[in-house]
Amino acid sequence: MTWTKEPPIEGKQQPCLHAGIAENLFPPDGIIAVGFGAACLTCSGACIWEEGRYEDKPELTGAEAEALALEDPDKDWRIFLIGPLSEREYQRHGPGQWVLIKQGEGFA
């Protein structure tokens, strides 16, 4: 492993949290999307999937992100959700474990 596991944080409920995700782990059935803002999946800093970019794949779930990560598990995989009044970043720490590592106020 050539990347650093960021320490997990305790998430706080925010007023405009998309899809009700309040967990400190991104759920397999969670949708990587915010509607207004930006949401993406990255692998070692490279964007693998971005909300609104692909007509044939408008949504990506946590389980689908995990399936992609299993193809190259030794990389730094992250999920970013940046929306109005809510910003969250998850890092894959192991099989099925997408841990909350950053939380912010988003924009607006």
Q: What is the pLDDT of residues 7-25, one digit of tens each?
A: 999 877 654 444 445 579 9
Average pLDDT, the chain: 88
Q: Show me where the domains of the chain are located.
A: 18-104
83 beta partners: 86
Predicted model pTM = 0.87
3-state secondary structure of 106: coil
Q: How many C-beta atoms surround the C-beta of residue 47 within 10 A? A: 11
